[in-house]
Amino acid sequence: MKPKGWKDLPPGSVVLEGGSAAKFKTGSWRAFRPVWKEENCIHCLFCWIYCPDMSVTVKDGKRGEFNYDYCKGCGICALECPGKKGQKAIEMVEEGK
C-alpha cells in the first residue's frame, strides 16, 4: 500500500470511523506477558472488565485465551484476578524468558 501523502489526509487529523483502535496493534510495547492458567480460573471475567484494551477474549460467557496483539503488559488483569483458593489464574512473565 502506498503511504498517504499530505494531500490525502482528513482535516484536523480526525479519524473518520469508529472502532479504529482495532487497527492499531500495540502488543509490541509489552515487557511482561500475562499468562492464563485455566486450572485456577473461575471465569469471573474481572480480567475482561479491567483490561484497558481488548486483550481478553470471551466466548459464551467463558474466558478464552489472551489476544496478545493488543496487550501492552500493564498487569492490571493479574492484579485484579481473584483466582481459585489463593492461586492466581493470571501470572505476569517477563518477555524473552
Partner 1 sequence: MAKVVAVTGNEACANALRQVNPDVCGIYPITPQTDMMQRYASFISDGKVDTEAILVESEHSSMSACIGAAAAGGRVITATSSQGLALMWEMLFIAAGDRLPIIMPVVNRALSAPLNIHGDHSDAMGARDTGWIQIWSENAQEAYDNTIQAFRIGEHMDIRLPVMVCQDGFIISHSIERMEYLEDKEVKDFVGPYKNFLPLLDLEKPKSYGPLILTDLYHEYKRAQHEVMTKVSAVTLEVAKEFEKLSGRKYGLFETYRLEDAEVAIVILNSAAGTTKDVIDDFRAKGIKAGLLKPRLFRPFPYTEIADALKHTKAVCVMDRADSFGGYGPLFMEVSSALYQADSRPLMMNKIYGLGGRDYLPSHAAQVITELDSIAKSGSVKTVKEYIGVRE
- Rule CB under 8 A: which residues touch partner 1? 3-7, 9-20
**Apex CA 52: angle with CA 74 and CA 45, to 5°?**
95
Tell me which residue of 51, 45, 43, 41 sits closest to 90, measured CA to CA: 41
Cβ proximity to partner 1: between 21 and 79 the closer is 21
Question: CB of residue 69 vs partner 1: minimum separation in angstroms?
Answer: 17
Distance in Å, CB of 24 to partner 1, minimum:
8
Count of all residues that appear for the chain in the document: 97
Q: How far is the CB of 55 from partner 1 (least distance, A)?
A: 18
